[in-house]
Chains A and B, each alone.
Chain A
Amino acid sequence: MIRFGMALLLACACASAAPAAAPAAPATQATPTAAPAPSAAPLAPDPAPGVDGDVTVAAMNGMQILVKRVPGAELVAMQLYIRGGVRNWDRAHAGVEDLALSVSTSGGTRKLDKDAFARRLAALGSSLDASAGNDFSALSAKSLKAHFGETFALLADAFLEPALPAAEIELQRQRQLSQLKHEQEYPDSRLDFLVHQTLFHDHPYGRRAIGTLETVAKLSAADLSAHLAKLRETSRLLLVVVGDLEAAEVVAGARRALGHLPRGTYQETQLPSVKLDRAALVVVEKKLPTNYIQGVFLAPGWRDPDFATAMVAMEVLGLREFEEVRTKRNLSYAAGAFLRSNLAIARGTLYVTAVDPNATMEVMLAQARRLQSEPVPAPELAGDKAVFLTGYLMGSESTDGQAGLLARAQLLGGDWHLARTFPGRVRAVTAGDVQAFARKYIGRLQTVVLGDPARLNRTLFQSL
């Protein structure tokens, strides 16, 4: 059964459905911090789990455990996060964490070979996936409530005792290489790649989690084993579980599975900041039916006092871009603005595809300037905040959505409570706040165009 085949489903891509809404993407700060105690210090006993509203917080040898109870939920989300991201590998080994975790979840364990492991997951109806990112990685599972215990045990085994068979390493390597190739074939993913390179080419973020064709091709089984061994310390780990479960059951399961791990000495170091001195334009020529354009600027992260304002301001700007570019002038199907906040170094983005890039960007930039020069009228601001908060709530409909939200607030913001208090901060944003944000942050735009360079008014593109 396929519910929606490729290209069979045409979404209207209305403004409210554009990435601007980013309902489940809270959190970010430029300098994520964690404060694990050094392993050399005498180990204090873990504090007793504390209950804070619907969240139980427990500690286990420096590892934080968050359990959110959702009464009546059929499904349980369990997500084991590994801190570090780009701090965990050098340029030559970019891609190692991604490949190692993929093979860990697909190649079986010492107890169950690949087939037996897959059959057990299938019998439970559970899923287990790995993801690696520039700030953190995760092993994520989802199961029926009744199968939480066994599914979590499989997740833990995949992390602690993966078999890493050679054939599976080669298979997952091919898939990672394919992903890198496809990234260059599709204009939106290639544009994202180009923007990333423009901003971070000499920054640690430049060694992306997915790696490169060259680095992934060279990774050895020994590289994967050594890398995984490095990750197995509680000071790196955060476990988030959301479902209709007793917290004590979850904590006990975590102790059984992960309690023997060394605390380690992991402490998150601050990443260098990114400096943008002036507006810049990068044009990559490609024959396409339309031009793909992103203009980006650095934006405040989750713990920054301006973060909620940034989210609201970009919601306002996104809806205005849609209306002015698409509705009133039919210059584009896809015009918007949004805050990309799922990285520690957040950024604001103007996004559009257009056959007339100059006329379109003139309107896009005018809207950005309008946000700087005029306060947003009260009814518009109230409405846009309501739209944003609807999207934010939608991000919490699923147990994995809630788990991801708590985790991002904790990992990128340093405090999971921020996920809970965020709606209140959004409601408190004023028109003055939005205007001040726009003046302070929207500028020194780094614009990347994938398309036809002959058509561009370069002065216009570098005018903000």
Chain B
Amino acid sequence: MLRLALLALLLTPPAASTGASPPIEFARHTLKNGLEVLVVENHALPLVTIEIAAHNGSMTEPPDYNGLSHLYEHMFFKANAVIPNQEAYLARTRELGMQWNGTTNTERVNYFFTTTTDHLADAMVFMRDAIVSPLFDPKELERERVVVTGEIDRNEATPGYHFWHQVTRRVFWKYPSRKDPLGDRKTVLAATREQMQTIKQRYYVPNNSLLVVTGDVRAADIFAQADTLYASWKRGPDPFRAHRLVKHPSIPERSVVLVEQPVQTVTGSLNWHGPSTVGDDVEMTYAADVLGLALAEPSSRFQKALVDSGACVAASLSWLTQRNLGPITLSFEATPDKVDDCVRAAQSELRRIREPDYLSDDEMANAVHRLEVGQALERERPSAYAHALTFWWCSASLDYYVHYVENARKVSHRAIAQFVNRYVLARPYVLGIMVSPEMIRERGLDQGHFEGLLRMRPSKEAAR
């Protein structure tokens, strides 16, 4: 029986000073087994996108599972109870004219198909079979482990990956695997079918998943199909009750992570632990986003001090939207001869941000308006909007997303100062620096140099 708890979420923001955007509108339905279903109707083109996300990812991975959420994601596109192997899987995607893919990050694993409207019903069935009944065929698993190491190879071929990886290991020093979706090569190569089944039983349950359908569809039709297709998918225990997320301990002291790669400019970042989208300090997340956008404007004091001054080639401050502790990152790029100026300018400017008049009222309002237009940009492409919705669901919540602009609009100058005081100025940070061996040799840009720049005592490593 169709249980149409159709809840159209409509949010009309208070009158904006510049141009109003339409309300966020989607239809929402929860199945008896706990599966949430969202539908966004957009009939501009004869396309439909079907996406399922599980609240899974590296946040759930202890070291012996590090990288296996990602391997699981690859195994989704293989044999299941209906499809005998990946060749048959690929043949079916062709029959259905599908563009398809999946992604894994820290707090979300998502799978998505886009096809033309005439294939909607078959694509819905195809998605159900893949998410509910993967087989983890041992031969396919053996082959895919190697494929995933090919993806690791490609990451390891880029300087940016090494920089990110080494800095992240220091910032989340106690549980680095929980912030590293790519994971460990040895763990991936040793992965077993039993581990895949453990992930499935634990996280791939309807009450830990979200189905989003966007495009040329009718919400009532989708809800009816979902009720039928997913009726036998059994609810499971709340995975995060039995397997609690870790609590990342603070960064204990200021430190420098120097990464040597064959690069020609200096890339760097100052890194802190930031707020989370759940818990007592959610308000600070809006302050973080408003501040980041305000500082990104070329006319901001921040850009003037860091970039227009000639110290940095580029600089930005951002916070990663996460349920389980989003990092704050001040990223910069500098020429080797200016990197000291760039770091000093960043340190100096951070202290000024807490001043009450650091951002003008207009800058605050413009930043919120950027967020508002950003949501319009997300809505514009229904196939990509499905990804955005699953992201917000996994790393915050739908309520957080729906009220996001409204809450961002409430951010005050005081909240900005609180955010900076509480999360940036009062806490130790990790300075990440990526330089080339030549820069170390010819310009002395070594560990000790940057520790000196931060007025730290030389580390044992530098002292040697």
Interface residues of A (CB under 8 A from B): 1-17, 21, 23, 70, 72-75, 106, 114-116, 118-119, 122-126, 142, 144-147, 167, 170-171, 174-175, 178, 181-182, 184-187, 288-290, 292, 319, 322-323, 326-330, 332-334, 353-355, 379-380, 383-384, 386-387, 389-391, 393-394, 396-399, 401
B19 touches A125 (CB 8 A): yes
Chain B nearest CB from A294 CB (Å) reads 14
| Residue among A72, A182, A187, A379 with most chain B CB within 10 A | A182
A288 touches B90 (CB 8 A): no
Contacts of A14 in B (CB 8 A): 77, 100-102
> Interface residue tally of chain B, by bracket?
35 or more
The answer to the question of B356 belonging to the interface, with a C-beta cut-off of 8 Å to chain A, is: no
B154 touches A353 (CB 8 A): yes
Residue of A nearest to B118 (CB): A386
A346 to B116, CA, bound (A): 28
A390 touches B98 (CB 8 A): yes
Stretch at the interface among B196-204, B259-267, B410-418: B259-267
Stretch at the interface among B223-231, B312-320, B451-459: B312-320
Contacts of A355 in B (CB 8 A): 150, 153
Contacts of B97 in A (CB 8 A): 383, 386-387, 389-390
Residue of A nearest to B215 (CB): A397
The answer to the question of B237 belonging to the interface, with a C-beta cut-off of 8 Å to chain A, is: no
Residue of B nearest to A380 (CB): B94
A446 to B86, CA, bound (A): 32
A7 touches B182 (CB 8 A): yes
> Which residue of A9, A11, A72, A182 is within 8 Å of B44 (Cβ)?
A72
> Which residue of B98, B101, B335 is within 8 Å of A11 (Cβ)?
B101
A3 touches B391 (CB 8 A): yes
Contacts of B164 in A (CB 8 A): 5-7
A330 touches B147 (CB 8 A): yes
The answer to the question of B103 belonging to the interface, with a C-beta cut-off of 8 Å to chain A, is: yes
A9 to B105, CA, bound (A): 5
> Which residue of A7, A181, A397 is within 8 Å of B382 (Cβ)?
A397
> Which residue of B319, B373, B381, B391 is within 8 Å of A397 (Cβ)?
B381
Contacts of A332 in B (CB 8 A): 147, 150
Chain A nearest CB from B59 CB (Å) reads 11
Interface residues of B (CB under 8 A from A): 17-22, 44-47, 70, 73-74, 77, 86-87, 90-91, 93-106, 114-116, 143-144, 146-148, 150-161, 164-165, 181-182, 261-265, 288-289, 292-293, 297-299, 307-308, 310, 313-314, 318-321, 333, 335, 362-363, 365-367, 369-373, 376-377, 379-384, 388, 391
Asked if A333 meets B151 with Cβ closer than 8 Å, knowing A174-B313, A185-B264, A186-B159, the reply is yes
| Residue among B147, B164, B377, B379 with most chain A CB within 10 A | B147
B264 touches A333 (CB 8 A): no
B90 touches A327 (CB 8 A): yes
A70 to B153, CA, bound (A): 44
6 interchain pairs, CB-CB under 8 A: A1-B321, A4-B105, A12-B77, A122-B297, A167-B308, A386-B94
B103 touches A178 (CB 8 A): no
A12 touches B21 (CB 8 A): no
A390 touches B116 (CB 8 A): yes
Chain A nearest CB from B316 CB (Å) reads 10
A181 touches B297 (CB 8 A): no
Known: A7-B164, A123-B369, A398-B380. 6 other contacts (CB 8 A): A16-B98, A74-B21, A74-B22, A116-B299, A186-B159, A353-B150
A323 touches B90 (CB 8 A): yes
B381 touches A398 (CB 8 A): yes
A74 to B146, CA, bound (A): 45
> Which residue of B86, B94, B297 is within 8 Å of A383 (Cβ)?
B94
A329 to B87, CA, bound (A): 12
Contacts of A116 in B (CB 8 A): 299
B114 touches A394 (CB 8 A): yes
> Which residue of B153, B165, B307 is within 8 Å of A289 (Cβ)?
B153
Contacts of B318 in A (CB 8 A): 1-2
A171 to B335, CA, bound (A): 12
Instruction: Give the 10 A-B CB pairs with smallest separation, nearest first.
Output: A383-B94, A386-B97, A333-B150, A125-B373, A181-B264, A289-B153, A122-B366, A290-B153, A115-B299, A330-B143
Residue of A nearest to B304 (CB): A115
A181 to B333, CA, bound (A): 12
Chain B nearest CB from A404 CB (Å) reads 13
A289 to B185, CA, bound (A): 13
A399 to B377, CA, bound (A): 10
> Which residue of A5, A185, A327 is within 8 Å of B159 (Cβ)?
A185
Contacts of B156 in A (CB 8 A): 289
Contacts of A11 in B (CB 8 A): 101-103
A3 touches B388 (CB 8 A): yes
Residue of B nearest to A334 (CB): B154
> Which residue of B106, B362, B363, B369 is within 8 Å of A8 (Cβ)?
B106
Chain A nearest CB from B78 CB (Å) reads 9
A7 touches B299 (CB 8 A): no
Chain B nearest CB from A46 CB (Å) reads 31
| Residue among B148, B154, B376 with most chain A CB within 10 A | B154
Asked if A118 meets B297 with Cβ closer than 8 Å, knowing A187-B158, A327-B90, the reply is yes
Asked if A119 meets B144 with Cβ closer than 8 Å, knowing A1-B318, A8-B106, A10-B103, the reply is no
Asked if A146 meets B19 with Cβ closer than 8 Å, knowing A5-B320, A115-B299, the reply is yes
Chain B nearest CB from A229 CB (Å) reads 25
A14 to B100, CA, bound (A): 7
| Residue among A147, A185, A329 with most chain B CB within 10 A | A185
Residue of B nearest to A388 (CB): B97
Contacts of B103 in A (CB 8 A): 9-12
A147 to B165, CA, bound (A): 42
A384 touches B154 (CB 8 A): no
Asked if A394 meets B99 with Cβ closer than 8 Å, knowing A16-B93, A384-B94, the reply is yes
A394 to B87, CA, bound (A): 25
Contacts of A10 in B (CB 8 A): 70, 73, 103-105, 151, 181-182
A354 to B363, CA, bound (A): 49
A67 to B181, CA, bound (A): 44
A175 to B265, CA, bound (A): 11
B369 touches A125 (CB 8 A): yes
Asked if A119 meets B73 with Cβ closer than 8 Å, knowing A288-B157, A353-B153, the reply is no
> Which residue of B73, B297, B333, B380 is within 8 Å of A75 (Cβ)?
B380
Asked if A387 meets B94 with Cβ closer than 8 Å, knowing A3-B321, A16-B99, A393-B116, the reply is yes
> Which residue of A74, A288, A333, A384 is within 8 Å of B379 (Cβ)?
A74
Contacts of A13 in B (CB 8 A): 101, 151
A223 to B21, CA, bound (A): 42
Contacts of B151 in A (CB 8 A): 10, 13, 333-334
A417 to B144, CA, bound (A): 44
B288 touches A1 (CB 8 A): yes
Contacts of A319 in B (CB 8 A): 90, 94
A398 to B47, CA, bound (A): 13
